[in-house]
Amino acid sequence: MNVLVTGGTGTLGRHVVTLLRQGGHRARIMSREPRGHVDAVKGDLRTGAGLARALSGMDAIVHAASATRQPLRGWSVDVRGTRRLLGLAREAQIKHVVYVSIVGIDSSTYPYHRTKLKTEAVVRGDIVPWSILRATQFHEFIEVVLRGFSRLPAVFAVPLSWQLQPVDSKEVAQRVVDIVLGQPAGILPDFGGPEIRELQSLSQAWMLARKDNRRLVNLNLPFKFSRQFADGLITSPDHKEGKTRFDEYLAERYPMS
């Protein structure tokens, strides 16, 4: 099968590309900066440049691109960009798009989650036959979050009671590959990590792995989404399909020398 992987340079997309190629399929990467990548096409969801070329000759799409690092561009990249991508995909007779989304976003007030929900609505609009897989937080993303809270030298202030369910991005990628090689299936069961933990215990594990001796304190964020996260909104207790635990990820990432 010939699969276009948007976001093929990202955390998840990179694994999707590798797994597809290992399985004997063609995985073409679309990226704004394709230099240095094999079988990669320059394309930008925000402007539409290169999308038609990226789609030509493809059978299916894994849509894993998102303005994760440019939140103010969420609407133009994710929502409008996806609508544009799928319109062109329809013209190119693409038979299946797999969209990667996030567990628990239906009532989340976190702005990025609102963008994801609107993008899901575009995908659900049947422009191209579709599947949507919602996953919990990738291990790498837990680190992004913790680094984001690491602004102070002596204390480490995080919202201790947030409940998260870290999952291995490679395991999510394997599930995505299985989905794209099958038939369009609509909204699929969530894919979650093996354990739900409070950010307090994830922070402690992260600090230990990195020999970080700062004092861990609670950060009280006065936002509704913070209370929602503490209530477990973005976890999926009935879907603990992932195998690799956050501590195993840390042991591999920060080996004791």
Ligand X SMILES: NC(=O)c1ccc[n+]([C@@H]2O[C@H](COP(=O)([O-])OP(=O)(O)OC[C@H]3O[C@@H](n4cnc5c(N)ncnc54)[C@H](OP(=O)(O)O)[C@@H]3O)[C@@H](O)[C@H]2O)c1
Footprint of ligand X on this chain (CB under 6 A)?
6-7, 9-13, 31-33, 43-46, 64-69, 77, 100, 102, 116, 135, 137-138, 141
For the chain, the three-class secondary structure string (H helix, E strand, C coil) is: CEEEEECCCCHHHHHHHHHHHHCCCEEEEEECCCCCCCCEEECCCCCCCCHHHHHCCCCEEEECCCCCCCHHHHHHHHHHHHHHHHHHHHHCCCCEEEEEEECCHHHCCCHHHHHHHHHHHHHCCCCCCEEEEEECCEHHHHHHHHHHCCCCCCEEEECCCCEECCECHHHHHHHHHHHHCCCCCEECCCECCCCCEEHHHHHHHHHHHCCCCCEEEECCCCCHHHHHHHCCCCCCCCCCCCCCCHHHHHHHHCCCC
Which residue's C-beta sits nearest to ligand X?
10
Please state, as a whole number, how many other Cβ atoms lie within 10 Å of the Cβ of residue 86. Answer: 23
Task: Tell me the closest approach of the beta carbon of residue 68 to ligand X, in angstroms.
Answer: 3
Residue closer to ligand X, measured from CB, 100 or 202: 100
- To the nearest whole angstrom, how small is the minimum distance from the Cβ of residue 112 to ligand X? 8
Residue 16 beta carbon to ligand X: minimum distance, rounded to whole angstroms: 9
Q: Which of 29/127 has CB closer to ligand X?
A: 29
Nearer to ligand X, 57 or 71 (CB): 71
Residue with smaller CB distance to ligand X, 96 or 116: 116
Smallest distance, Å, CB 113 to ligand X?
Answer: 9
Q: State which residue, 27 or 135, has the beta carbon closest to ligand X.
A: 135
The nearest distance, CB 80 to ligand X, in angstroms, is 10
Taking the least distance from each CB to ligand X, the nearer of 102 and 205 is 102
Residue matched to tokens 């590309």 = 17
What is the nearest approach in angstroms of ligand X to the Cβ of residue 40? 9
